[in-house]
Amino acid sequence: MAVHVLLFDAGSENEGIHSLELQGSTVVLLFEDRDDAERYAGLLEAQDFPMPSVEAIERREMEEFCANAGYEARFVPAGFLPQTAEERLLIAPPENNMDVSGWREQPDGATGEGGDTPEPISSGNAELEAFRRRLEGLL
């Protein structure tokens, strides 16, 4: 079964995978539905992230990759409805993100990894932030 993941610079030497830090674990989202992955990618772009590509990869391969890299693979089924604040992060990125400007230099290729004390960033554009919140409200 294929899942959909968010990759930055897919196919290049600098390829990186989108990840979240949840309770001290690095989590990689494995979306069952391509539309859900594309919506999440659009929300990241609205937060001034580089636009990731949505790539279909076999679930087993992704779970093996995550296990070998020390990440947690989190499957997001189609039609997923969050029940907790943490689960909400599986369908919409957090409002504050780690600075990803140096992710290309990180040896493991995961966004949001590395660095001593990551600094939260936001778009700084109040109109864009309000629009993003309205979009998230639709979820």
Q: Tens digits of per-residue pLDDT, 23-72?
A: 889 999 999 999 999 999 999 888 888 889 999 999 999 999 999 999 99
- The closest of 80, 89, 97 to 3, measured between CA atoms, is 80
One-letter amino acid of 81: L
Q: Judge whether residue 117 has pLDDT over 50.
A: no
**How many whole angstroms separate alpha carbon 55 and alpha carbon 102?**
22
pLDDT score, position 34? 97
Q: Which domain holds residue 40?
A: 2-138
Domain count across the chain: 1
Tokens of 116: 């001593």
Q: Where does residue 50 rank: exposed (0-12), middle (13-18), buried (19+ CB within 10 A)?
A: middle
Q: Tens digits of per-residue pLDDT, 69-98?
A: 999 999 999 989 888 888 888 888 876 555
pLDDT score, position 91? 85
Torsion of CA 126, 114, 35, 91, to 10 degrees: -60
Band (pLDDT 50/70/90 cuts) for residue 129 is low
Task: List the beta bridge partners of residue 3.
Answer: 57
Q: Judge whether residue 122 has pLDDT over 60.
A: no
pLDDT score, position 112? 46
pLDDT score, position 6? 95
**How many whole angstroms separate alpha carbon 22 and alpha carbon 25?**
5
